[in-house]
Structure 1
Amino acid sequence: MSKAQRPESPCEPREPTRTGMSKEALKQAYVDNLFFIQGRFREVATPHDLYMAAAYTARDRLLERWVRSAQLFKSSHARTVCYLSAEYLLGPHLAKTLINLGITQAAREAAEELELDFTAVLEEEEEPGLGNGGLGRLAACFMDSLATLRIPAIGYGIRYEFGIFDQRIEDGWQVEVSDNWLHNGNPWEIPRPKICFPVCYGGHTERYRDADDQWRTRWVPAMVIQGMAYDTPILGFGTDNVNLLRLWKSEAAESLDFQAFNIGDYYGAVHAKIEAETISKILYPNDEPEAGKELRLKQQYFFVSCSIQDMIRLHLNTVGPIERFDRKFVAQLNDTHPALAIAELMRLLLDEHGMDWEQAWGITHRTFCYTNHTLLPEALETWPVALLERLLPRHLEIIYEINQRFLDQVRVRFFADDARVARMSLIGEDGERRVRMAHLAVVGSHQVNGVAELHSELVRTTILRDFHDLWPERFTNVTNGVSPRRFIMVSNPRLGRLISEVCGNTGWARDLEQLRRLEEYADDPAFQARWREIKTAAKRDLAAWMAARTGVDLDPVQLFDVQAKRIHEYKRQHLNVLHIIRTYQRIKQDPNHDLVPRAFIFGGKAAPGYFAAKLLIKLINAVAEVINHDPEVNGTIRVAFMPDFNVKNGQRLYPAADLSEQISLAGKEASGTGNMKFSMNGALTIGTLDGANIEIRRAVGEENFFLFGMDAETVAHRQAEGYRPWDHYHGDPELRADIDLINSGLFSHGDTSLFRPLTDQLVNHDPFMVLADYRAYLEAQEHVSSVYRDPARWTRMSILNAARMGHFSSDRAIREYAERIWAVEPLPVESGAETTP
């Protein structure tokens, strides 16, 4: 690099450019951060040093806006949304931060002049894997939209030291590797050692009379740990508003027991520290063993206790009287994981602030709202009463009191209906007595919402029907959405630039309905050609990445058929596999069979203790091994499994997909958000009438969606009358041949027993009705192939899918929450001039 290209030394005098946005200011700031924070000069800097300097350069520009935001929110006493979520899958920060600051191009030019590989710097970032899947990705999108819509908000969660496992594929099997995402430091967070709260466990409660001679309860815990805050700024797009993501790390109240140390008990001296730090050590352990369940409960209480205590601290420091707490804060429970927050706020108001029950319950009820995310009965969280009694005795007392008062209402409203009382009780009495967390969340919240029209309807009519009968006004729907900044602008910059060209600016990223302008170009041959070039470029990028990581060569000419989501039987990856096997058999039986060349691409992680899901991954890879090495077919079809599917890798996948597989059994998927991300990037959907698929199909047009399978009503009817998968197996020769081929050992080196657990489950039980939808799925796939043969028709459908996805922006979802549920108003942070990305 020439002397003229960069400053001689970071120490030379110059104009102040600490948070300047120009190319020159970014160059100087980058050199400063590499020198003063990383302690490196360019010639010895590692790739990680180069990334860290870039991250700090972007973060500096966040912090200046964050301070101004915090000052405004405090002085205005703004009503604030507190989003309580045990999971946040934020994805890499740097690229999105540059976009939201509006300086991506300036940063790219600065990097070029500093002779840096801009793309390599972005690739160096590790993403925080603080979630298992869609729940965490949704929370991240919502945080982005809250800031973009200028709504004051705090996201609360856990700073897991080890996030969701990294996934490796060895001999076709999933192998879990610890995700030590913090090992090289996290430049985006700011430790707050002074923001620290005690969290108690165990012990017993005592009754006593207070100074006013009123009976009170005192909790005498057996263990007390500390929760320390780590803050991450979340910047909105095209605004100076910065919100806060506050994650809690568990620590021992005292680092070392010197008494134990002095008598030689070295393990005992640090035991409390180890036990305390375990609570935020790792994301959701396998919750089958009792120890795993206990740790998960400790985690949930830990983060809600810290969060509620922090909210009270902020309220007393700004607004004042605790009686006005619900006017300052509204708290959204992202599923049932934070439901203990209801009991915790009651405990603090009753025991620490001396309120009576009615006043405390009124504040609590007006503070909380609850989002339900599942219809699967096994996913509705419950906790053994005995476990709560041992870990959280005071909270169990409060839950009992809530339940008693609530059931008194039920008995009056539904006179002499003991069965309903038993169904609605917060305590399940069948077998082991358990606390029903969804019931606690509903009773303690003033609003309850599902996350898609079908899901919300099924919530009202099935799993929470009794509560809807009691409080119909409490139930509503807010269909999920995703962030176009993350999943178009960052994931697919080529498409983002084309959309900006059509719309005239980047305003579409804040008003996604502007994508409608693409419709007028849907039949334009020149525009279609550009659209196909962008899709092909994304497919080339993915193919190169897959070849380097998996050794599987994909041809961008092939139709990229993608199913990427958590591996679970209800998501029916095995239905997809059966179609691949059917395609394989047809080619083998007739080598001249005319098929559209396809690359079948899978991605997703299975829970470590979920054997059937892990066996599904093995089957996918086993089928891939046979097909990809069979010279008679591998020019026509290929099968690939993307290892370690996460936000970062999803950003490679969504732009490249031609076909999006959304094939869950109708009535099982709450909403889905992957379906939205694929459609925004021009993929066509093959799917059932499940979750948000219904609304996507309505939005993009029935003719632009490949529908198959039963609807939820038909599913329920067939299951009620006694579904017999055996009849489908014997009644469809091709289906039987596909299953028999799996059992033959062809895909398992002659082992006829390896995949028997999967095939026996399908033939004998098939709880998610794979065999019932098999034939309809094959017919829909034939329709997909016929349309793909016509590039102009396929491209038109692709353009219209993207053009009509405006409703599925997370901005729209947050706007609905703000107006209909939270009653909050935007509060713009003023600056000299707002950024215009």
Structure 2
Amino acid sequence: MPSDVDSVDTFTTEFLKRLQFGQGVVLARATTNDLYFALARTVRQQLMSRWLETLNVQRKAKAKAVVYLSAEYLLGRQLDNNLLASGLTEIAEQSMERLGIDITTLREAELEPGLGNGGLGRLAACFIDSLATMQIPAVGYGIRYEYGIFRQTFVDGVQVEQPDSWLTNGSPWEFPHPEMGVKVRFAGHTETEHRDDGSVATTWVHGWEVIGIPYNYMVPGYRTENVNALRLWSARATQAFDLQVFNSGDYLQAVRAQAFAENISKVLYPEDSTPQGKELRLQQQYFFVACSLRDYLDNVLPADFDLRRLPERVVFQLNDTHPVIAIPELIRILVDERGIAWDVALDIARQVFNYTCHTLLPEALEVWSVELLGRLLPRHLEIIYRLNDEFLADLREAYPGDELRVRRMSIIQEHPERAVRMAYLATVVGTKVNGVAELHSQLLRDKVLTDFSAHWPEKFTNVTNGVTPRRFVRLANPGLSGLITETIGEGWLKDLAELQQLEPYADDASFLERFAAIKSANKSRLSELVERRQGIVLPQAALYDVMVKRLHEYKRQTLKLLHVITLYQRIQENPDLDIVPRVVLFGAKAAPGYRIAKDTIALINAVATTIDADPAVKGRLKVAFPANYNVSLAEILIPAADLSEQISLAGKEASGTGNMKLALNGALTIGTLDGANVEILEQVGAENFFLFGLTEPEAQAIQTAGYQPHEHYASSPGLRKALDAVASGEFSGGDTEAFAPLVDSLLYQDRFLALADYDAYVAAQDEVEVAYRDTKAWTRSAVLNTARSGYFSSDRSIQDYLDRIWHAKPVPVAGPTG
């Protein structure tokens, strides 16, 4: 594609300028960080002109835009992605080689912005990539957390959280606009004025305020001139420093306002087990949506734009419940500040907001106490009350005498405390409510928001998640990407459905051989990385069995671990056992306050240590848990996987996206009928998928009947032996108390039926063992997983949103040559 820097000579010249005038050093004295910044800014310069032109073209087009509101964005490293999108990868590599610079070292110097917790944040990053690639006018809004998700380390096998100082050296990809700061108000009280014409006006007299400073990240489309923006907000005090107090000698008090304000954007998801933590989370959520709405209304739309026509120009997508406070905020702006009548403002809100639900767990559907909301955002609580009163009046008219239904559907919950149910608020006002996989959307309608789906069946739809093939195949798996492009051309990177053209090659011996060789090379690459980072040595001639996802009981890492213990015990019982060598790889972080999850990590590491110390197992079974699983590690680990563990209890996982990334990269899935596993099974075929376990109705029936996990313990010899080993202290130096809470939780609660599915899971793993021995057949299935996973592109997800919810159109930007 055309570029301002269209030759190695030009790129090299620009790079040296950035090094000299940006970093203030010459090549001979430059540090790795200097070189990385100079390279990044050389690439950024090429994107900047495209971004400005995109803004210009979109402004002239007056087209409808998508505003994506998300508290999380797990972006991953930006350098390679931006090189790929700008068509400069080869030129940059040749330029660095000419200068004697190892570009791999510069790639590894980049600190990944950990501005998310898991799938939801990575999905948001995939979506903004696809929106730009598909030339849709869009802005992503979020928070520029000073410290992202914690950096995970292990001390004696126990997770220890350390600050994620991703901004230590600055970020060359962001550029702040302090002059476009937005004031955000909190607390105080409201005052009502009854005017002579009979109208009523409400004024929010705030108690304190902060300023939101926008930091822009450019989001380039692949093989297009379009560059959209991700705008992240950082909190600053309106008066950061009190000179009089400082001069009086009270130095801490002099900067107290600054520290208080900056807490808002300090840490991703502050621990909310305390009242202070809960309040800070709500401050974060309101802060970023207030900044974002104000920015869009005041800076993106024309100054004279009639906000009554807002639905023609924008759709706000609420990525889970975190940004739902945007609904009363928009109504407040329209009514209190712009003088628009309540009914008109509410009608506007009903047309511009849509809500994506990412969970089926009741505890994950946010509620905010009326006391906290009223204290922090008094005007918003008034708006929510009025919304709810009108909604309940409509319900009473629609369902006369059915007061129980009215109470169930109320936005305000009464017990155990009066609180605002944010998912209900989003559903009542939003145009559409979508789940993120077919099964999830069905359960959302049938189990979670049942009354609402009965009342408004037309509101509910499904958009199955997807992942960007640019990052998770082209960048993460260059060997496979090269083979695909050589075989079917490069169109698949923008139309992943073209992977279907690979199907005939599943029976081509030469293709299978090359595919298997790439998988082996990817294992070598992973092995080198984890040995360099943590001293973990992985055998390469083995089945790579991978479970990478957030640590949560419903994802059932404990079930995987029980299988590992069973394999270990089989080898102990029969040292001559003919077993397929297996490397079991875990990657996960546990929330700092989630005790059982952290105990599970400790047990995994304890089992890994015990197995490592047993010479009878060496080369046959290896358990590894690389610390600090993130996007960068995922890009190396996922392409090496043979087996993808997707074993959550049916009905608990919303969708998953790791399952899609693994299937795309040629891993076979062992999984339950949960989340997007259902659709993966449909796409790749039952013969290329290891299905096991209870279905959602079966799981529900067992739990309703009164589940007794110890009965499964009593009736399954393998399960009993595995759990007894943990309870006896075999993996904890004889300390029987070390993992007692975890054992007791499984034996007497087992909320997610790990014990009930144990025997079926082990049987399915035995099928895996048999299948993997037939190398040709396994590789054939791996090829078919890749060939049939084109459906799981985030481009397809975005097209579904456009067709079913957003109804926005592409606005192409012409290149330099027109």
| Aligned counterparts of 1:468 and 1:67: Cα–Cα separation in 2 | 43
**Alignment counterpart, residue 774 of structure 1, candidates 720, 736, 758:** 758
Change (3 A) 1:651 1:315: closer
Instruction: Identify the residue that residue 524 of structure 2 maps to in structure 1.
Output: 540
Q: Quote the Cα distance in structure 2 between the aligned partners of 1:199 and 1:399.
A: 19
1:233 alignment partner, SS class: strand
Per-residue displacement from partner, 1:690-741 (whole Å, max 9, x unpaired)?
A: 0000000100111100000011111111111111111100011111010000
**Paired residue for 2:43?**
58
Deviation at 1:268, TM superposition (A): 2.9
Classify the secondary structure of the residue corresponding to 1:602.
strand
Report how far residue 70 of structure 1 moved: 0.6
Q: Which stretches in structure 2 are left out of the alignment for 5+ residues?
A: none
Q: TM-score, normalised by structure 1?
A: 0.96
Whole-Å separation in 1 of the counterparts to 2:300 and 2:291 = 14
1:833 offset after TM fit, Å?
A: 5.0
Partner of 2:549: 565
AA at the equivalent of 2:507:
D
Q: 1:665 aligns with which of 628, 649, 654?
A: 649
The aligned counterpart of 2:620 is 636
Pick the aligned partner of 1:398 from 383, 402, 413.
383
**Equivalent position amino acid for 1:524 in 2:** D
1:254-286: CA deviations, max 9, x gaps? 222345445554333322111111111111111
- Deviation string for 1:219-262 (max 9, x for gaps)? 01110111111111100001000101011111111222345445
| Aligned with 2:230 (options 239, 245, 250) | 245
Partner in structure 1 of residue 772 of structure 2: 788
Show the 5 A alignment for 1:140-159: 140-159=125-144
Q: Does 1:137 align with 2:136?
A: no
Instruction: Quote the Cα distance in structure 1 between the aligned partners of 2:23 and 2:250.
Output: 40
Other structure's SS at 1:642 match: coil
Q: 1:316 and 1:547, CA in 2 relative to 1: closer, same or farther beyond 3 A? A: closer
Contact 1:315 1:328 in 2 (8 A): no
Instruction: Give, in whole Å, the separation in 2 of the partners of 1:210 and 1:307.
Output: 32
Distance 1:474 1:538 in 2: 44
Q: Distance in 1 between matches of 2:200 and 2:805?
A: 36
Cα displacement (A) at 1:210: 5.4
CA distance in 1, matches of 2:29, 2:301: 50
The answer as to 2:53 corresponding to 1:68 is yes
For residues 601 and 281 of structure 1, the distance between their equivalents in structure 2, rounded to whole angstroms, comes to: 32
Aligned to 1:813: 797
Task: Please tell me whether residue 29 in structure 1 is matched to residue 7 in structure 2.
Answer: no
In the TM superposition, what are the counterparts of 1:62-211 in structure 2 within 5 Å? Answer: 62-209=47-194
Establish whether residue 759 from structure 1 lines up as the match of residue 758 from structure 2: no
Matched, 1:797 2:774: no
Superposition deviation, residue 98 in structure 1: 0.8
SS where residue 34 of structure 1 aligns?
helix
Give, in angstroms, the shift of residue 689 of structure 1: 0.3
Question: What is the one-letter code of the residue matched to 1:177?
Answer: Q
Cα drift, residue 314 of structure 1: 3.2
Q: Distance in 2 between matches of 1:662 and 1:478?
A: 20
Counterpart in 1 of 2:535?
551
1:216 to 201, 223, 229: 201
Partner secondary structure for residue 507 of structure 2 = coil
Q: What pairs up with 1:114-513 in 2 under 5 angstroms? A: 114-209=99-194, 214-261=199-246, 263-314=248-299, 316-317=301-302, 320-504=305-489, 506-513=490-497
User: Are the aligned partners of 2:311 and 2:351 in contact in 1 as well (CA < 8 Å)?
Assistant: yes
Q: Does the 8 Å CA contact 1:18/1:25 hold for their aligned counterparts?
A: no
Alignment of 1:519 with 2:503, yes or no, is yes
Quote the residue 1:9 is aligned against.
none
Instruction: Indicate if the aligned counterparts of 2:335 and 2:341 stay in contact, CA closer than 8 A.
Output: yes
The C-alpha deviation readout for 1:479-534, integer Å capped at 9, x for no partner, is: 00000001011111111111111122x22100001111111111111111110111
The whole-number CA distance in structure 2 between the counterparts of 1:667 and 1:201 is 39
For 1:325 and 1:492, the matched residues in 2 are separated by 43
Supply the distance in 2 between the matched residues of 1:532 and 1:212 (Cα, whole angstroms).
79
CA–CA distance in structure 2, aligned partners of residues 19 and 118 of structure 1: 21
Q: Which of 512, 515, 536 lines up with 1:528 in the alignment?
A: 512
Q: Which amino acid in the other structure matches residue 678 of structure 2?
A: I
Which residue of structure 1 lines up, in the alignment, with residue 595 of structure 2? Answer: 611
1:765 positional shift: 1.0
Worse overlay, 710-719 or 410-419 = 410-419
The letter for the 2-side match of 1:741 is A
The code of the aligned residue for 1:304 comes to V
The 3-state SS of whatever aligns with 2:178 is strand
Q: CA deviation at 1:50?
A: 1.2
Alpha-carbon contact 1:369-1:445 (below 8 Å) kept: yes
Query: In structure 2, how many angstroms separate the alpha carbons of the residues matched to 1:294 and 1:515?
Result: 48
Deviates more, 1:410-419 or 1:291-300: 410-419
Provide Cα deviations, 1:53-106, integer angstroms capped at 9, x if missing partner.
Answer: 110111011101001001111111121100000000000000011111122122
In 1: Cα distance, 2:108 partner to 2:243 partner: 46
> Is the 8 Å Cα contact of residues 61 and 811 (structure 2) preserved in structure 1?
no
Letter in 2 for 1:289: T
Equivalent residue letter for 1:657: A
Give the CA deviation at 1:644.
0.3
Aligned residue for 1:55, secondary structure, equals helix
Per the TM alignment, residue 47 of structure 1 is displaced from its structure 2 partner at its CA by 1.0
1:656-703 per-residue CA deviation (whole Å, 9 max, x = no partner) reads 001010000000000000000011110111000000000001001111
In structure 1, C-alpha distance between the alignment counterparts of 2:646 and 2:471, rounded to whole Å: 21
Count how many residue pairs are aligned between Structure 1 and Structure 2: 817
Three-state SS of the structure 1 residue aligned to 2:229 is strand
Structure 2 counterpart of 1:324, one-letter code: R
Task: Give TM-score, length-normalised by structure 2.
Answer: 0.98
Distance 1:172 1:612 in 2: 14
**Equivalent position of 1:14 in the other structure:** none
**2:96 counterpart SS class:** helix
1:729-748 to structure 2, matched below 5 A, reads 729-748=713-732
In 1, Cα distance between equivalents of 2:198 and 2:297: 26
1:405 and 1:211 mapped to 2: Cα distance?
Answer: 25
Q: CA RMSD in A?
A: 1.3
Mean alpha-carbon deviation: is it higher for 792-801 or for 262-271? 262-271
After superposing the two structures, state which structure 1 stretch, 390-399 or 317-326, moved more: 317-326
Q: Deviation string for 1:113-164 (max 9, x for gaps)? A: 1111121111111110001111100000000000000000000000111111
Unaligned runs of 5+ in 1: 1-16
Maintained 8 Å contact 2:173/2:218: yes
Q: Does 1:627 align with 2:611?
A: yes
Q: 3-state SS of the aligned residue for 2:272? A: coil
- Amino acid of the residue matched to residue 813 of structure 1? S
Which amino acid is the alignment partner of residue 381 of structure 2?
L
Secondary structure in 1 matching 2:117: coil
Letter in 2 for 1:621: N
Say if 1:110 and 1:315 are closer, same or farther in 2 by CA, change over 3 A: closer
